[in-house]
Amino acid sequence: MTFEPGAPPENADDHVLAAWLADAAGRRLLEVREEGLTGRELKDAGDRAAHDLLMQLLAEHRPGDAVLSEEGKDDKRRLEAERVWIVDPLDGTREFSEPPRDDWAVHVALWSRGDLTAGAVAQPAIGETFSTADPPYVAPSTAARPRIAVSRTRPPAFVEALAEELGAELVPMGSAGVKVMSVVRDVSDAYVHAGGQYEWDNAAPVVVARAAGLYCSRVDGSPLRYNQDDVSLPDLIVCRVELAERIVAFVREHGVTGS
Ligand SMILES: Nc1ncnc2c1ncn2[C@@H]1O[C@H](COP(=O)(O)O)[C@@H](OP(=O)(O)O)[C@H]1O
Ligand SMILES: [Mg+2]
């Protein structure tokens, strides 16, 4: 039985539509995970099913907009478009293929005339969708010392030295979206990454984090820019505002070599 997304809420604005799209793709992915596939086959089936559904729903509900998807061909007409949806149909593909891991996500962001304007990150395995439609409230940190979320499979080497400097502990997990949402959810206080990533890996997480009042930038403190010709966006910081200055200062002094 294939999941049928139905229709979005009536007169859905871009924020509501982003949340609805991410949620729909997430439900589809939960279904794919029950089909008995494993390893590479499960990864490919998930990437494909979520991408196809998002492309179909965007064509139906926002037919005039351009789309940049990790799983699609990069149509450079997006560079002249006023509105571009930047989507990662399945972020944390590796973790998706390792049930019962729950650290994988669906990313849907909208870029419009120069910056991100709306977006959503669904974490289907925990039944949560975070979005700019209803920006999450970030409660005061519950941690005695800062927690830094890092990639579980490719943690950048410099983050260990940064953690030492801040007296922080590292919290490894999969998916860029899950790591950014871990800051929102008070599971961590910062996500610091370098060494490689693409616009779709962090666009939706960043627009949601910004709406939640978190600090977001490149590791050198410069702004994150989207819908660029080259979609590589290899490093970023998302953190509680009070940690930003020390993290940026550390990177400016020591760089990110070894990442
Ligand atoms: N060094 C690197 N180069 C390219 N992509 C990277 C990367 N490190 C992380 N990523 C991408 O960022 C996402 C989160 O990775 P991680 O869980 O290791 O933090 C993954 O997206 P996908 O799962 O969509 O491929 C992964 O491919
Ligand atoms: Mg990704």
- Residue percentage of the chain with pLDDT more than 90: 94
Please report the pLDDT score of residue 181 as a whole number. 98
Q: From the CB of 175, is ligand 1 less than 6 Å away?
A: yes
As a whole-number percent, the residues of the chain with pLDDT over 70 amount to 99
Provide the mean pLDDT of the chain: 96
From the CB of 88, is ligand 1 less than 6 Å away? yes
- Determine the atom of ligand 1 nearest the C-alpha atom of 151: 19
> Does residue 196's CB lie within 6 angstroms of at least one atom of ligand 1?
yes
Which pLDDT belongs to residue 5?
A: 93
Give the residue whose CA is nearest to atom 19 of ligand 1.
151
* Mean pLDDT, rounded, for 51-63: 98
Q: DSSP labels for the chain?
A: -------PPTT--HHHHHHHHHHHHHHHHHHHTTSS--HHHHHHHHHHHHHHHHHHHHHHH-TT-EEEETTS---GGGGG-SEEEEEEEEESHHHHTSTT----EEEEEEEETTEEEEEEEEEGGGTEEEETTSPPP-PPP--SS-EEEEESSS--THHHHHHHHHT-EEEEES-HHHHHHHHHTTS-SEEEE-S--BHHHHHHHHHHHHHTT-EEE-TTSPPP--S-SS-B---EEEE-HHHHHHHHHHHHHH--TT-
> Which atom of ligand 1 lies closest to the CA of 92?
23
d(CA 169, CA 149): 9
Q: Which amino acid is at 211?
A: A
Residue whose CA is at the smallest distance from ligand 1 atom 5? 197
Given this model, what pLDDT does residue 210 score? Answer: 98
Q: Which ligand 1 atom lies nearest to the CA of residue 176?
A: 14
CA 231 to chain centre: 15
Torsion angle of the four alpha carbons 171, 147, 194, 90, in this order, in degrees rounded to the nearest 10: 50
- β-bridge mates for residue 217, sequence order: 237
Q: Which residues contact 52 (CB under 8 A, 6 or more apart)?
A: none
Domains recognised in the chain with CATH numbers:
14-131 (3.30.540.10), 147-254 (3.40.190.80)
Short-list 191, 225, 168, 9, CA closest to 91: 191
Mean pLDDT confidence for 188-210: 97
- The pLDDT tens digits for 13-30 are 999 999 999 999 999 999
Pairing type for strands 66-69 and 83-91 reads parallel
Lowest mean pLDDT among 83-92, 95-104, 163-172, 249-258: 249-258
- pTM value is 0.97
For ligand 1, whether the C-beta of 92 sits within 6 Å is yes
pLDDT tens, residue by residue, 211-251 = 999 999 999 999 999 999 999 999 999 999 999 999 999 99
Confidence of residue 2 (pLDDT cuts 50, 70, 90): confident
The response to whether residue 177 sits with its C-beta less than 6 Å from ligand 1 reads no
97 CB less than 6 Å from ligand 1?
A: no
pLDDT range class, residue 3, cuts 50, 70, 90: confident
pLDDT digits (tens, 9 = 90+) for 108-147: 999 999 999 999 999 999 999 999 999 999 999 989 999 9
Closest Cα partner for 194 from 167, 176, 206? Answer: 176
Per-residue pLDDT, 258: 57
Q: Which of 94, 103, 151, 188 to mutate to test the pocket of ligand 1 (most atoms within 8 A of CB)?
A: 151
pLDDT at 259 over 80: no
Q: What is the CA radius of gyration of the chain?
A: 18
